Amino acid sequence: MIDKKIIQDLRKNYKLKSLDQKDVLENPYEQFTVWFEETLNSHLPEPNAMILATATKDGKPSVRTLLLKGYDENGFIFYTNYESRKGKELATNKNASILFFWPELERQIRLEGTVEKIPQEESEKYFNTRPYKSRIGAWASNQSEVIENRFYIVKKFLKYFVKFHSKDIPLPQYWGGYVLKPDTFEFWQGRANRLHDRVRYKLENKIWKIERLSP
């Protein structure tokens, strides 16, 4: 065990930038684009990595990291196995949350809203852009199911590699995209002495209300 004092003493004094209600754009999607472009221009590793939180019907949460694959004013898109843990949870509880954390910029963005599947043709279009072996991997993995060992999944991968070798790989029926439609955005900018800047957008009667939150 690591001494808890060592962990307690891990801290950083944030001081790169500031954030105020008067500085943000009226539309949270446009504000997201401003920050995301800065992230891309900073050449950070995996700038589109995000943490997705889902919950069971009775409210038991689970989280995991995955990749944003697109967004517009209809919401934020990601892809996965519909029969995975998150897929099963989303089938019974549409509420979800996404977190983007960019420590190098001392920033994070939280999104809250509901999730729905995107049309199959959109999932198929994206699936066909994936690397060949990633598409095979989608067929080989029954995501979140218990398996005996790594050899089991490698064997399945090789099975589908032979089956689809030099052929078009069809979209598995159990694989596709989701879109999270936010009703809340929160933009967080780290500041000195833990007096962080937090600006929240909340959708009320189809209008985005902008508020500052206490750190």
- Catalytic annotation, pick one of 11, 194, 198, 212: 194
pTM of the model: 0.93
Total Cβ atoms within 10 A of residue 205 = 5
Q: Are 135 and 169 in contact (CB under 8 A)?
A: yes
State the pLDDT at residue 15: 87
pLDDT tens per residue across span 74-132: 999 999 999 999 999 999 999 999 999 999 999 999 999 999 999 999 999 999 999 99
Number of Cβ within 10 Å of residue 187's Cβ equals 22
What confidence score (pLDDT) does residue 9 get? 84
Spatial separation of the C-alpha atoms in residues 103 and 112, rounded to whole Å: 21
pLDDT score at 68: 98
- Alpha-carbon distance 45 to 118, whole Å? 27
Domain ranges for the chain, please list them.
11-128+172-213, 131-170
User: Token pair of 132, please?
Assistant: 């060949």
Residue spans of the chain under pLDDT 70: none
CATH architecture of 11-128+172-213: Roll (2.30)
Q: Which residues contact 184 (CB under 8 A, 6 or more apart)?
A: 110, 111, 112, 113, 200, 201, 202, 203
130 is catalytic: no
Sign of the torsion angle spanned by Cα atoms 145, 146, 148, 150: positive
Contacts of 62 (CB under 8 A, 6+ apart): 53, 54, 55, 85, 86, 89
Q: For residues 184 and 209, what is the distance between their CA atoms, to the nearest angstrom?
A: 9
